[in-house]
Structure 1
């Protein structure tokens, strides 16, 4: 049995198709606080790509908080994407080793002033991914919003938490990716008016690791006032992130692995990027909860205690999240052995609730179990997070994407991927995995774009029918699937046996 490493998420994406360029005019020129950029006037929107929001984090700036980009003279071409951040090879993508990567992209409707702004944080386990993979045009045009996508430092360069990197700094090492995202949000606050956006109405949204980062930004005092609404897709805000002690121990071990002892920081800064990227094996390089102003506490503790950036939140997952990660075929005996090894004295109860015989494939039995409980993507964890937000008194809306015919991120022969992790993304970003949606799926996509952008506009996902209620109990989750009755309220906690799992954890 093998689980696909989470670091491979979102690496098989196909670059979006660019519409034909129309006549250029003055609307293609925008003055930012660092200089003038020239984008493209497309058939139904404007696109600006590869705008630097920070200095390249190279040399002595490696593992430092991002510094503002330097001004430029003349007009800067903004028709090509900036370089992607250094990352290992993965499904459909080659390794890259560039450190000059702190760029963002802006798509806008043809015209408009003080439009809502949506800032996208891509997924990829904080080790892979690239903002250039996402076509922002549908959200911008259909939703009448300004959409921004950002690159941020990944893997070893964005999340290494070596204690030597903290000397003389007022931040917790290991959160450079979070600091990059905050720098991009500050760029938005200073500049988005010139693109037709409202800096006082910014929604931060992201998926997978991007969702985990948004949970951290909600709990980060350093992010206060930088955004006003949050959408977290497919990573529970109730799931613990890295502790300072564990992250630092891992970083010290990594330094020793690459031969950096003594003055480890100078040694690490002198190593080639390729050496660092290929040696970095930390499985979940997420935010570090420490004692500083970036992330002083675990996000779920901040939410439970009411000490977070309070705002409307939309939070959800997919119906079959973990089917993406269960790859190789397994037997029923191997499935049972896994359950017994993992759940010990509770294994019989778990096997009775999830018997392999009830599923077409033992992999689906395992994926269903893991989708329901015990992983960062699990439905019960998302229920817990929605409960935290609701009890804290902020408007919270829960969803579950449930189209089991959605185009898969990875097509596994002989296996039904269902509504797996990342399956909702092509409904927001056209042709993300290649190909087109069918007519019913296209209608679902239209509805989802309406919900997402109306939430960005006024904090209520209410542009479509049926009505999406505030989360107050487990039956208030909106299930999103194609067809005449595909969008409807569902008790996802009951479907995922959350009461059963809670009974096991409270009895231990």
Structure 2
């Protein structure tokens, strides 16, 4: 695929995820608290609430100051407190545009949230989620990923963090700022590592097992999980992982990160030797400057030979600095450091419809096959005819818009997911399981008669079991993406049960779902998750053979 074209898709990850992160998703929050719950952790006592059978602790600090003299550095030590600290309200998210129903964004954003059935010393599996939003927006308080239903219905503990994002989380200063700023290009991902360390030290007080921790994340959170899977700093603190619609095969190189830093300094009229002036620029001004830089997603492309290849400067995300992130997460191989940790990886069947919705793209859904070729040629060049021929043969009943959605969706999230599954399988150690989420929403893309199907980000509310009939018997509300059909509750239960069973045992399984074989290079088993789940061997085999033939897998 043309590199710039694919970057354009990937660059929508952060902007589009922002729309989801602030949308509210339209499911019911927990009711009034039944009682307050106190628990003592290392820095002091905190007070959460018990609501509808779940103990909920919000805005729990897991790190100290990251503003002032700690900007671009490791956090200050977390200071103990006296008395009982309130943990009934969400903590501040990282610097970004204001978020609905959350505190004002702040540089000091190291807070986490915990949902648990009980603080009873029972050793439940822990599900540690990294939010989406690329590496520039989002928080652990996004309503679609509320952890109460997972905790209540599947007896697990759910943890989610806020962490530094964007320029304040990933500005690479290692080469100009000295030893105190070593790892500066990875502060945001090191914050998540600190959250995992907090879990290791404190989660037993919340009924969780510190020796049975699953990390998972969607979109940008999937890319974060890819990095965590490859980092020495996190290796002692988790046992299994899931990368969802965000295959972080490659991250930013030091050279590209240094170029981005130089661009920023030039825009601010700061000489490299005067880099300390960055410490005095108000965070709001840095956010404005971040938006002025060329926005590209922090992924490095596989195919460097296509026309129009250019360096990927301008975006902010984890940096392959040789220390914090020793190498690309899944290039050239799956990380040796996690060879014994089971992995889930996959994507949604109609990822692109989300981006069409977000960008108000209606023209795509008027295409005929001549128009399809014209639309694809600038991106795929001489490979266009072969691509269309392959997809029309594999999907004889597909319309031109159907084929565009299929090509765009697999190129954005599917090829990297398959690449990860293949490389993990080649280790012949812990298993890897490949999936496609396929429940179809009937909701239409505004301005068209084309259904969303299974768009990017729709999996969030499903896997958190937040597509569920109201317990009071009232009429269900329409789901933000999932629509109105009651069968969505079945698909959500399947998804959530598969994920929580994987968290518990390292093997995904659920009632009324076929046994899910590990992926291997012979059968290439893929679980399609829907109201009725099925295992499909070598799914998209013809299409993937074509992608391989043009060097994209």
TM over 0.5, yes or no? yes
Residue 35 of structure 1: aligned partner = 44
Which residue of structure 2 lines up, in the alignment, with residue 221 of structure 1? 232
Distance 2:259 2:165 in 1: 19
- Specify which of 480, 498, 510 is matched with residue 451 of structure 1: 498
Asked if 1:250 is matched to 2:299, the reply is: no
Corresponding residue of 2:64: 55
Which residue does the alignment assign to 1:394?
A: 430
Q: What residue is the counterpart of 1:476 in the other structure?
A: 525
1:504 Cα deviation after fit? 2.0
User: Matches of 2:280 and 2:494 in 1, distance apart?
Assistant: 50
Q: How many angstroms apart in 2 are the aligned matches of 1:60 and 1:309? A: 38
1:411 is displaced (CA, Å) by 5.6
* Greater shift in the superposed pair: 227-236 or 379-388: 379-388
* Long gaps (5+) in structure 2: 298-315, 468-478
Q: Distance in 2 between matches of 1:443 and 1:213?
A: 29
Whether the 8 Å CA contact 1:221–1:309 is kept in 2: the answer is no
- The answer on whether the counterparts of 1:97 and 1:273 sit within 8 Å (CA) in structure 2 is no
Specify the SS of the correspondent of 1:31: strand
Are 2:161 and 1:150 aligned?
A: yes
* Distance verdict in 2 for CA 1:458–1:245, change over 3 Å: same
Instruction: Give how far 1:173 is off.
Output: 2.8
Bigger Cα displacement from structure 2, 470-479 vs 100-109: 470-479
Q: Take 1:5 and 1:142, find their aligned partners in 2: how far apart are those partners?
A: 34
Cα distance change on mapping 1:198 and 1:304 into 2, 3 Å: closer
1:325 offset after TM fit, Å? 1.9
Helix, strand or coil: the match of 1:497?
A: helix
TM-superposed deviation, 1:211:
0.6
Q: RMSD across aligned C-alpha pairs, in angstroms?
A: 2.9
Q: How many Å apart are 1:283 and its aligned residue?
A: 2.1
Q: Following the alignment from structure 2 to structure 1, what is the Cα–Cα distance between the partners of residues 101 and 400? A: 30
Q: Does 1:265 align with 2:275?
A: yes
Q: CA deviation at 1:405?
A: 1.4
Q: CA offsets, 1:226-246, max 9 Å, x none?
A: 111101111224x32111111
Q: Judge conservation of contact 1:122–1:207 (CA < 8 Å) in 2.
A: yes
The verdict on how the C-alpha distance between 1:490 and 1:411 changes in structure 2, with shifts beyond 3 A counting, is farther
Change (3 A) 1:165 1:407: farther
- 1:337 aligned onto 2:380: no
Q: TM-score, normalised by structure 1?
A: 0.89
Cα distance, 1:382 vs structure 2: 1.3
The number of residue pairs the alignment matches comes to 495
1:423-469 deviation line (CA, Å, top 9, x unaligned): 11111232684888643111121121111111111111123321111
Shift of 1:132: 0.9
SS at match of 1:174: helix
CA deviation digits over 1:384-436, x for unaligned, max 9?
Answer: 2111111112211111100121779x866543221111111111232684888
Is the aligned partner of 1:417 residue 2:427? no
1:315 is aligned to 345
User: 1:365 and 2:403 equivalent?
Assistant: yes
Distance in 1, matches of 2:97 and 2:135, equals 11
Q: Which residue of structure 2 aligns with residue 289 of structure 1?
A: 320
Mapped contact 2:176–2:273 kept (Cα < 8 A):
no
Asked whether 1:207 is paired with 2:218, we answer: yes
* Alpha-carbon spacing, 1:339–1:170, altered in 2? closer, same or farther (3 Å): same
* Cα distance change of structure 1 residues 107 and 472 upon mapping to structure 2, 3 Å threshold: same
Q: 1:305 to 1:433 in 2, by over 3 A?
A: closer
* Offset of residue 46 of structure 1: 0.5
Paired position in structure 1 for 2:543: 497
Inter-CA distance 95–338: structure 2 relative to 1 (3 Å threshold) = farther
SS in 2 for 1:132: coil
Which stretch of structure 1 is more off in the superposition, 160-169 or 461-470? Answer: 160-169
Q: C-alpha distance in 2, partners of 1:362/1:275?
A: 44
Secondary structure of the 1:278 match is helix
Q: Cα distance 1:68–1:143, how it changes in 2: closer, same or farther (>3 A)?
A: farther
Q: Is contact 1:30-1:37 (8 Å) kept?
A: yes
Q: Which residue is equivalent to 2:135? A: 126
Task: Give, in angstroms, the shift of residue 41 of structure 1.
Answer: 1.0
1:136-170 C-alpha deviation (Å, 9 max, x unpaired): 01111111011101111111111222345651148
Report how far residue 126 of structure 1 moved: 1.1
Q: Which residue of 1 aligns with 2:310?
A: none
Contact map agreement 2:125 2:213 (CA 8 A) in 1: yes
Per-residue Cα deviation, 1:276-312 (whole angstroms, up to 9, x for no partner)? 11221432233211221x1111111364463446301
2:149 corresponds to: 138
Matched with 1:172 is: 183
Unaligned runs of 5+ in 1: none
Given that 1:206 and 1:214 are in contact with CA atoms closer than 8 Å, whether structure 2 keeps it comes out as yes
- Quick one: distance in 2 between partners of 1:24 and 1:451? 31
Instruction: Say if 2:526 and 2:539, in contact at 8 Å, map to a contact too.
Output: no
Partner of 2:475: none
- Give the 3 Å change call, closer, same or farther, for CA 414–86 of structure 1 in structure 2: farther
Select which of 235, 246, 250 maps to 1:235. 246
Secondary structure in 2 aligned to 1:199?
strand
Measure the CA separation in 2 of the matches of 1:411 and 1:145.
38
1:404 aligns with 2:440: yes
Name the CA distance, whole Å, in 1 between partners of 2:503 and 2:524: 24
